[in-house]
């Protein structure tokens, strides 16, 4: 997973940094200028570790996740 930041210019999202691969599927979450959120230090550590795991390729395939969800009570 990659996280990218950008701005809308003439109706198009212009990303900062390295470009994404052609045809990449993306999700865009737009925030208002005054939107903020707070996380506890523990939540921040967990989020950063999850991002690091994804960067290392330690991910679960969609098929495996779907199977786990089907088995969940």
Residue (of 39, 30, 23, 40) closest to 7 by Cα position: 30
Residues pairing with 14 in the sheet: 7
Q: CA 21, 18, 56, 45 torsion: positive or negative? A: negative
Residue 24: per-residue pLDDT: 87
Provide the whole-model pTM: 0.43
Measured between alpha carbons, how far is 13 from 8 in angstroms, rounded to an integer? 4
Instruction: Calculate the average pLDDT of the chain.
Output: 87
Ranges of each domain in the chain: 6-71
Tokens 């865009």: give the residue: 28
Alpha-carbon gap, residue 54 to 42, rounded angstroms: 18
């Amino acid at each position: 997973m990659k996280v990218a930041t950008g701005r809308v210019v003439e109706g198009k999202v212009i990303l900062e940094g390295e470009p994404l691969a052609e045809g990449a599927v993306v999700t865009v979450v737009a925030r208002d200028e005054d939107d903020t959120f707070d996380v506890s230090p523990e939540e921040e550590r967990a989020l950063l570790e999850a991002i690091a795991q994804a960067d290392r390729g330690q991910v679960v395939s969609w098929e495996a996740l779907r199977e786990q969800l089907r088995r969940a009570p």
